Amino acid sequence: MRRRFIEMLDEALPPDATHQVAGAGTMFDRLRQDGHAIAIATGCWENSARLKLARSLIEIGECPLVACDEEPDRVAILRCALERAGFNQRHAVYVGDGPWDVRAAQRLRLPFIGIDHNSRGRLRALGIRTVLADFRDYRGFLANTQGRLSRYEPVKTACEPAAMRKCGAIPWK
């Protein structure tokens, strides 16, 4: 089933920057250029997440990506992404667009920035105060992080290989 889903996604999703939430690729690049550490935690399978990012023309480079391949629990995925990236939780901000993202951030006591690219209002309905429409306003985004963003510093992580397999962390080659 997974293989067939990826094949169908591959056939149906041509490379096009309009697949991304407005400004996402530029935001990603700017954060990295400014030395901020980034990790991706997703409920997608690894291969589908990478395909969607590539087809949206978002270059993730060596950014850690943790997917649901072996661990469907969002909190475990997020925790492993933090560990894989070497983040100190005091310097992390979680950015997401779904109620499951809100719950995972709350469970780990992380500040949360909501992205409501469909203007549904569901994040505000959950009590999230910081909700942006998209990623086009870099300065506004940074202002909402309250200075918490981690700077990139290569560190050894506590996410051991067995734990990475369990939570779907992808070791970079």
CATH code, 144: 3.40.50.1000
Please give the pLDDT value at position 79: 92
Q: What share of the chain is helix, strand, coil (3-state, %, to 5)?
A: 45, 10, 45
Structure confidence at residue 30 (pLDDT): 92
pTM to 2 decimals?
0.80
d(CA 21, CA 162): 33
For residue 27, the enclosing domain spans 2-167
CA 98, 65, 147, 109 torsion: positive or negative?
Answer: positive
pLDDT in tens, the chain (173 residues): 899 999 999 999 999 999 999 999 999 999 989 888 899 999 999 999 999 999 999 999 889 999 999 788 999 999 999 999 888 778 889 999 999 999 999 999 999 999 999 888 999 999 999 999 999 999 989 988 877 665 544 433 344 434 434 444 433 32
141 — phi, psi (to 5°)?
Answer: -60, -50
What is the pLDDT, as a whole number, of residue 133? 94
Q: Which of 53, 89, 48, 81 is nearest to 65 (CA)?
A: 81
Give the per-residue pLDDT at 99. 94
Domain count, the chain: 1
Q: Tell me whether residue 173 is in a domain.
A: no
143 exposure class (CB count in 10 Å sphere: 0-12, 13-18, 19+):
exposed
pLDDT score of 151? 56
Q: Which residues contact 5 (CB under 8 A, 6 or more apart)?
A: 45, 48
